[in-house]
């Protein structure tokens, strides 16, 4: 099979397909018993991310079990802060913790973007392994966090419901905030470019907290960095498509692809699929946006919501996905039912 025959790459090139290609955010994760077993073998989540053999194994698990059309590299958006010199650890049942960046002193402790490979080399090895072992029809997606979302974790040192510490730094010391955004942006370009060199066929930029940026701040800190990253990637890798996910952007989803050069915009489930088709898919490929909770609740409601989503996006280029990551309490049988429904 030729690379360009892969269904996801065809959708990303603008083709409307009779049956949409499908994958899921967090498809390798805690809802799968085989993931829990491999994580236990690795010791903990970060050791799993940095072990190319085991990270390859968990990336392949959902492909074997469900036959998704794409595999997403198993890693985390917070490996970039770690590669820049931040301390990073995960508290079981709570989430990530990092050393915080509150002022110029803290910022000064970070290393240069060019040095990230020292830490991130195992990630590139995982990608090389995956290109060797994936079925020929399965596309390989690499990813990074968008600068704003990564900055929110680096500033607060943890996940926050409203990203208040990052908004506060933006207000109180915009020079440090901008310098941090700039450093993350440079690192992201270098990281994604290396992922493509190692075999990623698509890259996705996760801006999970884009929804808390409004008006000018959205333009400056969500749209502009995405545009800069995509422009730099396209200069080196003109044929590698980019998916942008400015989660909960609402009306700011409109025109995002054109403004940034993204080949596809991923939609979360705070917008309806009909709205997404009318306002975003008119400009090109979209991905999304079934609510993750259906993977927990299942039943006829899952079938109906899946059909509604596929129907709404039927007239244009489209990749089926959830609106956000699948949760640990999901039932793999519901994933089977969802895929069966998508594929008819
Ligand atoms: O399957 C995949 O989607 C690929 C791997 C992947 C992970 N994280 C693995 C992971 C990807 C693409 C991510 C992205 C990521 N990581 C984002 C952006 C997407 C989103 O969810 O909004 C963010 C914000 C992070 C940061 C992060 N990593 C948080 C906040 C947490 C804790 C919350 C949680 O879900 O537990 C993680 C941990 C994490 N990343 C897990 C996995 C499989 C669970 C860790 C475990 O096994 O204990």
pLDDT reported for residue 183: 98
Q: Where are the extended beta strands (E) located within the chain?
A: 70-72, 88-91, 95-98, 139-145, 202-207, 242-246, 264-266, 285-290, 318-322
143 C-beta closer than 6 A to ligand 1: yes
Token pair listed for 127: 């990608």
Q: Is the pLDDT of residue 2 over 60?
A: no
Q: Which of 253, 201, 261 is nearest to 229 (CA)?
A: 261
- Is the whole-model pTM more than 0.85? yes
Mean pLDDT of 53-77: 98
Residue nearest (by alpha carbon) to ligand 1 atom 17: 77
Average pLDDT of the chain?
97
The per-residue pLDDT for range 35-54, each reduced to its tens digit, is 999 999 999 999 999 999 99
Atom of ligand 1 nearest to the CA of 204: 12
159 C-beta closer than 6 A to ligand 1: yes
Atom of ligand 1 nearest to the CA of 247: 22
Q: 4 or 271, which is more confident?
A: 271
Mean pLDDT of 111-127: 98
Residue nearest (by alpha carbon) to ligand 1 atom 22: 208
Q: How many separate helices (H) and strands (E) can be counted in the chain? A: 17, 9
185 C-beta closer than 6 A to ligand 1: no
The per-residue pLDDT for range 125-142, each reduced to its tens digit, is 999 999 999 999 999 999
The per-residue pLDDT for range 285-294, each reduced to its tens digit, is 999 999 999 9
Residue nearest (by alpha carbon) to ligand 1 atom 33: 95
**Residue 189 alpha carbon to ligand 1 centre in Å:** 20
pLDDT reported for residue 92: 86
Q: Where are the extended beta strands (E) located within 84-197?
A: 88-91, 95-98, 139-145
Residue nearest (by alpha carbon) to ligand 1 atom 2: 26
Banded pLDDT at 1 (limits 50, 70, 90): low
The per-residue pLDDT for range 294-311, each reduced to its tens digit, is 999 999 999 999 999 999
Query: Is the CATH number of domain 76-235 3.30.470.10?
Result: no
pLDDT reported for residue 4: 66
Residue ranges per structural domain of the chain: 76-235
């Amino acid at each position: 099979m030729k690379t360009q025959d892969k269904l996801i790459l065809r959708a990303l090139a603008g083709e409307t397909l009779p049956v949409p290609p499908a994958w899921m955010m967090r498809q390798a994760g805690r809802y799968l018993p085989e993931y829990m077993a491999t994580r236990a073998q690795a010791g903990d989540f970060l050791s799993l991310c940095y072990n190319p053999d085991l990270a390859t194994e968990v990336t392949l698990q959902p492909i074997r079990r469900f036959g998704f059309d794409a595999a997403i590299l198993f890693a985390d958006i917070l490996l970039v802060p770690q590669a820049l010199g931040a301390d990073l650890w995960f508290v079981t049942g709570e989430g990530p913790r990092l050393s915080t960046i509150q002022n110029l002193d803290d910022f000064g402790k970070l290393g240069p973007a060019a040095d990230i490979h020292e830490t991130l080399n195992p990630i590139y090895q995982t990608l090389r392994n995956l290109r060797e072992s994936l079925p020929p029809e399965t596309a390989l997606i690499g990813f990074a966090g968008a600068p704003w979302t990564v900055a929110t974790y680096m500033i607060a040192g943890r996940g926050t419901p409203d990203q208040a510490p990052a908004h506060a730094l933006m207000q109180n010391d915009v020079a440090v905030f901008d310098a941090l955004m700039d450093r993350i942006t440079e690192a992201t370009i270098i990281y994604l470019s290396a992922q493509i060199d190692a075999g990623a066929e698509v890259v996705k930029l996760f801006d999970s907290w884009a929804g808390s940026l409004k008006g000018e701040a959205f333009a400056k800190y969500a749209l502009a960095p995405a545009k800069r990253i995509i422009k730099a990637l396209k200069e080196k890798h003109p044929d590698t498509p980019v998916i942008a996910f400015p989660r909960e952007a609402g009306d700011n989803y409109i025109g995002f692809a054109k403004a940034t050069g993204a080949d596809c915009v991923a939609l979360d489930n705070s917008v309806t699929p009909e709205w997404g088709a009318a306002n975003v898919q008119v400009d090109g490929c979209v991905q999304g946006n079934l609510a993750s909770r259906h993977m927990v609740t299942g039943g006829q409601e899952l079938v109906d919501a899946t059909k509604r989503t596929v129907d709404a996006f039927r007239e244009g280029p489209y990749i089926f996905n959830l609106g956000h990551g699948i949760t640990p309490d999901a039932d793999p049988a519901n994933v089977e039912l969802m895929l069966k429904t998508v594929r008819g």
